[in-house]
Structure 1
Amino acid sequence: MAQSGSQRSTSQGAGAPPEPGGAGAAARPASGAPVVVKKYANRRLYNTEASSYVTLEDLARMVRQGRDFVVYDAKTGEDITRSVLTQIIVEEESKGQNLLPTAFLRQLIAFYGDSLQSLVPRYLEFAMAGFARQQEQMRRAMEQTMGGFGLPFATPSLSNLEEMGKQNMAMLERAMSLFSPFRPGAAEPSRSPGAGGGEGDDVESLRAEVESLRRQLAELRAAQGRAGPKGSP
């Protein structure tokens, strides 16, 4: 009879989420390895490291803490991490945490199926990586300026940091506009008379714009370095 009980337990685990903290929970992964999360047919998410169910908010917290994870469909084994991350963004936006301007979303949607679609992900990664590096520098500058003395000493520095953040956002918007030469209000691209022109010229122009953006980022970093120490009394 013990054998039939074991068979019943096995068949139950194949079609339903495991019980939190049960004996069938996966062992903790090696340090630094991404946490494996499984999504079941009832749309519940199961963290195999913590042996517990989690919500999208829990996963968002893990992202903010720098903890990597992957999400698999429990039935098919398909990697659905991208889909789940997108759901997290939709939830955050619905709460009023608006990071994605409407114009940006329209531009992004327009690139689906476009000939430049394959370039957009890498370009966005480059732009966001640069922005993230600037954010870390701004946070460090703010902490150094505060120096444990309280908010009054940080006020001038916060103003500088806010201005730098606005410049970063403007640069990101400009970066996306490089991929929209036919956007409303865009200047007509200049073409030398008699030149073959075509896609080759467009690629060279894009490269020049990217190089210009890199120079501006370098200048912004240098300006931030000069502005950092000025907040002290």
Structure 2
Amino acid sequence: MSATGRNDVRLIKKYPNRRLYDTRTSSHITLADIRQLVISEEPFQVVDAKTGEDLTRSILLQIIQEAEGDGEPIFSTEMLKGIIRFYGPFQGMLGSYLEKSIQSVIDVQTQAGLQSSQAWSEFMQAQAPMMQDLMRQYVEQTKKLYLNTQNMFGVFSGLGGAGAGSSKKEGDEGQKA
């Protein structure tokens, strides 16, 4: 594969009628074709044909959504809920964690020489419950950290906020005695 550069990136245009057009082959393609580009590690970019807006992430999410509907999904309902909970203050941390985790799995695949899709599929099916459990534990630990942090800041915000009224009443009774 050649070095990554603008000329190496395959341009896919998405038209208002939802059709995808591969400018390299001058033909319409499907999401399955784009999935194959991902699998074969061919660099590409999907843009809106009218505005030029980059739609690559949106298309990739559509491919994931379709794949999740076929067969056994990677993301359980609880896992998806956990991911949704991370949007906000911990969003970057989870994204980085997931990216590094997936890269580690890819590295293991490469090092082990698991080139056949059947062997890779079997490997991943064996690892999926363990990976889901690790992610669940990670999400739970992060949730506890987040709640502990909120509780800590709740103590400090209580000094001048709504919590001050209730502690003031207790303090007033102590001062009157």
Q: Do the structures match in fold with TM over 0.5?
A: yes
Larger RCO, structure (CA 8 Å, separation 6 or more) = 1
| Partner residue in 2 for 1:225 | none
Partner Cα distance (1:53, 1:87) in 2: 17
2:95 is aligned with 1:121:
yes
- Deviation of 1:52 after TM superposition, in Å, equals 0.3
- Deviation of 1:126 after TM superposition, in Å, equals 0.5
Partner Cα distance (1:139, 1:126) in 2: 20
| Partner residue in 2 for 1:65 | 40
Partner Cα distance (1:37, 1:69) in 2: 7
2:6 is aligned with 1:35:
no
| Partner residue in 1 for 2:130 | 170
- Deviation of 1:198 after TM superposition, in Å, equals 5.5
| Partner residue in 1 for 2:61 | 86
- Deviation of 1:75 after TM superposition, in Å, equals 1.0
1:1-150 mapped onto 2 (5 Å cutoff): 33-113=8-88, 115-140=89-114
Q: Is the 8 A contact 1:34 1:68 kept in 2?
A: yes
Matched residues, percent identical? 35
Q: After TM superposition, what 4+ stretches of structure 1 lie above 6 angstroms from structure 2?
A: none
Q: Is the 8 A contact 2:109 2:115 kept in 1?
A: no
Structure 2 alignment gaps of length 5 or more: 154-177
Partner Cα distance (2:11, 2:81) in 1: 33
- Deviation of 1:49 after TM superposition, in Å, equals 0.4
Per-residue CA deviation, residues 8-41 of structure 1 (Å, 9 max, x unaligned), is xxxxxxxxxxxxxxxxxxxxxx897121000011
Relative to structure 1, the CA distance from residue 111 to residue 46 in structure 2 (aligned partners, 3 Å threshold; closer, same or farther) is same
Equivalent residues, number: 143
**How large is the RMSD of aligned CA atoms in angstroms?**
3.6
- Deviation of 1:170 after TM superposition, in Å, equals 2.0
Partner Cα distance (1:71, 1:31) in 2: 13
Partner Cα distance (2:113, 2:77) in 1: 27
> Aligned letter for 2:78?
A
Q: Is the 8 A contact 1:127 1:175 kept in 2?
A: no
Normalised to the residue count of structure 2, the TM-score between the two structures is 0.66
> Aligned letter for 2:24?
E
> Aligned letter for 1:91?
E
- Deviation of 1:88 after TM superposition, in Å, equals 0.6
Instruction: State which of 134, 140, 153 in structure 2 corresponds to 1:180.
Output: 140
Query: Matched residue of 1:71: which SS?
Result: strand
Structure 1 alignment gaps of length 5 or more: 1-29, 143-157, 192-196, 200-233
| Partner residue in 2 for 1:205 | none
Partner Cα distance (1:103, 1:136) in 2: 30
Relative to structure 1, the CA distance from residue 97 to residue 165 in structure 2 (aligned partners, 3 Å threshold; closer, same or farther) is closer
Name whichever structure is richer in helix by fraction. Answer: 2
